[in-house]
Chain A
Amino acid sequence: MGKTLFEKIWDSHIVVEKENIPSLIYIDRHLVHEVTSPQAFDGLRMNNRAVRRPDLTIATMDHNVPTNDRSLPILDQTSAIQIQTLEKNCKDFGIKLFDMTSPNQGIVHVIGPQLGITLPGSTIVCGDSHTSTHGAFGALAFGIGTSDVEHVLASQTIWLEKPKSFEIKVDGKRKNPHAVTAKDIVLSIIKNIGTAGGTGTVVEYSGEGITDLSMEQRMTICNMSIEAGARAGLVSPDEKTFDYLRNRQYTPKNYENLVEYWKEHLKTDPDAKFDKTFTLHIDNIAPQVSWGTNPGMTCDVTESIPSPEDYSKNDQNQKKAAAKALEYMDLKQGTPITEINIDRVFIGSCTNARLEDLVEASKVIKGQKVSEKVRAMVVPGSQMVKKQAEEMGIDKIFTNANFEWREAGCSMCLGMNPDILSPGERCASTSNRNFEGRQGTGGRTHLVSPVMAAAAAIEGHFVDVRNLDLN
C-alpha cells in the first residue's frame, strides 16, 4: 500500500524505532522565541549541556515585543527581562538571533518561510502551537512544550508517538475569492469538525480549493490546524511552493537539486489510505465570523447568533459551553451578525499578517475612514512585510483611513505586550483564538478574515464583504 505525504516525512526522520515506545524523530529546524525558551536554556545550564545543532536553530522575539517605536525602551520590566534573557541565551549557546533591531525580526511563523528557513519535507518544531503554519510548504511542523524545547536543543530529536493521518479535502471554487478567503475556508472546516476534530492526527489538506490558493493563503489554513486539535497540517508542495522559497536569504545553495528530489518524493501515493477523511465544498461558502469563545463557535456573516440548543445539537456539555460563551460575549441568540457593533479592529498575527493579507484589506478601506467609534490597528507579521507594504504605499492607505500602522510582533493576538483590549471591548480580529480573555481580560474577540476586519472597521459593525467591489 502507498504512503501519505505525512508518512513519508515521518519515515524519513526516524532515528530510533522500537516496539511499544514512541519513535525518536530527527528535527531539521528549531525556531525559538522569548516566552517558551528561558526555562529550557536553564535546564541545559543545570545539566551542563550544549545546544547540539546551533546551525539548525533560529531565534527571534515576537510574543512580548512592543509594536510602537523600536527606539523606545520597553516599559514592562518583566517583558524586558524575558527579551534580555533570550539575547543572553542566544549569545551563550551560539544561536542566531533576529533581535528587535533586525530587519528580519517578526513573528516566528512569518519569518521562517520568508527567509527560506522553512523547507518542504523537513521537520520543524517551535515552542508555539501555531508552528503548524509551516506545513503549508509540505513540512511536518508542530508546536512543543518547553521540556521538549530543551530536549530538541540538547539532542535535535524528539520522542513522538506516530499520529494518525487525516485528509481534509477542499473541493470546488469560491465565486468571489477576494471576499471569501482562506480564513473563511479554515473557519468553516473547524466549525464542521469541531475544535477536537483533528486531535491525535496530522491533517493533509488537498483538493482544488487548496491548490488554487497562494502560499500565504495556504499558511493561513495550516496555521489554524491546531484550532481543530491537529498538531500539524500540511499541503503537498507544488510549483507555487518551490517558487516562493527560491532566492530567499537562507534558501539552501543546492536548492534546485532539492526541488528535483522533493518533486519526486513529496506526494501522497494514489493508493495511500488515510485514517480519517472530511470534505468541504466551498462553491457557496460565506465569509465567517466567530461568535463564541472557541474557534468552532463560528457562523456565516449572513446568519444570526444561534441559541445554545441549536448550536449544541442536544449535547448537554456543549449547550452549557455555548450559554457560557454567549454570556461572556454579551450576545443574544437571534441577533444578526451584521448588527454586532465593534470597538476595536486588529489586523495581525501569524494567521493573517502577511503582505497579501494587508494588500487585500487595504482595498476595502481605500479612500475611506475608520468609523469614529472604532480604534483600528495593523501589525505587520514581520519587519520585512512592513517594509514591503511601505514600498507599495499600503501603509499610507491604512494611516489615511486612521488605522494605526505598527511594528512587527504577535501583539494583540495574545496581548502579552501593551496591545490589549479593555474589559468589555469587542474586537474584529484576524487572529486565531477567541478564547476568554485572550486579547485582554474581559475582552471579546470575533475571528474574521482581513477583508472582513477592514470592512468592519469602516462601518463599525460586521458587513458581508461579498457586497463590496473588491476587484
Chain B
Amino acid sequence: MEKFKKIKTIVTPLDQVNVDTDQIVPKQFLKLIQKSGFGKYLFFNWRYDENENQKKDFILNDKKYQNSKILVTGENFGCGSSREHAVWALQDYGFSVIIAPSFADIFFSNCFKNGILPIKLEEKNVEKLKHESGELEVDLENQILKTNSEQISFDIDSHKKKILLEGLDDISQTLQFEDKISEFEKQSKIPSVL
C-alpha cells in the first residue's frame, strides 16, 4: 500500500446522510474480478441517466470538483453492504479523504486497507467544510485540517494512523505472530468443519 501523504485540494460536498454502499457502487459492477477500474462506476446511478449521460445536478459532474481528493458528506456514510468495491471506486476516482460526522463500521475499516483516510468530525465542522470554497489541507501526521482561515484538529486511532502513514501491509505483520496463532489453535474447542 502507498504511504499516505499530505493532501491539499478543494472539497467535494455531498450533502446527504446515510449514503449506502449500493449508491457508492451499484451491484451491476460487482462482477469484476480485479480491484482496479471501479472509478467510472462511482455513484453511477446518481451520476448518469438511463442513457448514461451525465446528470447536470449531481455534484461530481461539476467540472469545478474534477481534481478534488476530499469528499465531505453526511452521517452514517458507507452503510449497508460490506462490498470493498465501494472503497476501490472512491479511490480509483481520486478521493483519498472522506470527512463525515460518522461512518458505518465495515466501510470505515475497509478504508484503511486501501490507503483512504476517513475522518470523523463534529457535525458543525463538517457543515463548515461543506461550504469551504478554498483549498483544504489534510495533514495526517499532525492530525490537522487547514483552510485559509482556520485549523481544525481531528482524532484518529494511533494504530490506524501508523498503517496509513507507513503504508503497512496487514498480512505480513500478522504472520509475524505465527507462533501465537498456532498456540491458539492447539487449545481451540471448535472443531474443523470437515
* Interface set of A (CB-CB < 8 Å, partner B): 15-16, 20-22, 24, 26, 28-29, 35-36, 38-39, 42-43, 47, 49, 52-53, 55-58, 63-64, 76, 78-79, 81-82, 85, 96, 117, 119, 121-122, 127-129, 143-148, 150-151, 154-157, 159, 161, 163, 195-196, 199-200, 226, 229, 231, 250, 252-254, 258, 261, 294, 317-318, 320-321, 324, 414-416, 423, 433, 435-438, 441-442
Known: A145-B106, A254-B191, A435-B80. A156 touches B181 (CB 8 A): yes
- Do residues B190 and A24 form an inter-chain contact, with CB atoms below 8 A? no
Contacting residues, chain B, for A119 (C-beta < 8 A): 190
Known: A155-B171, A196-B104. 4 other contacts (CB 8 A): A36-B83, A42-B35, A416-B30, A435-B20
- Do residues B31 and A154 form an inter-chain contact, with CB atoms below 8 A? no
Q: Given B79, B170, B177, which contacts A195 in the complex, CB threshold below 8 Å?
A: B79
Query: Within B11-54, which residues are at the interface with A (CB < 8 Å)?
Result: 15-18, 20, 22-23, 26-28, 30-35, 45, 50
Q: Given B76, B82, B192, which contacts A145 in the complex, CB threshold below 8 Å?
A: B82
Contacting residues, chain B, for A21 (C-beta < 8 A): 159
- Cα A21 to Cα B177 in complex, Å, equals 14
Known: A16-B177, A321-B17. A436 touches B23 (CB 8 A): yes
- Do residues A231 and B74 form an inter-chain contact, with CB atoms below 8 A? no
A59 CB to nearest chain B CB (Å): 11
- Do residues B82 and A436 form an inter-chain contact, with CB atoms below 8 A? no
Q: Given B76, B177, B193, which contacts A29 in the complex, CB threshold below 8 Å?
A: B193
Determine if B147 is an interface residue (Cβ-Cβ < 8 Å): no
Query: Within B71-110, which residues are at the interface with A (CB < 8 Å)?
Result: 74-76, 79-85, 87, 102, 104-106, 109-110
Query: Within B156-194, which residues are at the interface with A (CB < 8 Å)?
Result: 157-159, 170-172, 174-175, 177, 180-181, 184-185, 188-194
B: interface residue count bin: 35 or more
Q: Number of A-B pairs whose CB atoms are under 8 Å? A: 193
Contacting residues, chain B, for A258 (C-beta < 8 A): 189
- Do residues A127 and B82 form an inter-chain contact, with CB atoms below 8 A? yes
Determine if B113 is an interface residue (Cβ-Cβ < 8 Å): yes
Contacting residues, chain A, for B50 (C-beta < 8 A): 423, 441-442
- Cα A205 to Cα B84 in complex, Å, equals 28
B31 and chain A: residue at smallest CB distance = A78
- Cα A82 to Cα B28 in complex, Å, equals 13
Contacting residues, chain B, for A161 (C-beta < 8 A): 157
Q: Given B22, B35, B174, which contacts A24 in the complex, CB threshold below 8 Å?
A: B174
A118 CB to nearest chain B CB (Å): 10
- Cα A157 to Cα B173 in complex, Å, equals 12
Contacting residues, chain A, for B30 (C-beta < 8 A): 35, 63, 416
- Cα A56 to Cα B109 in complex, Å, equals 24
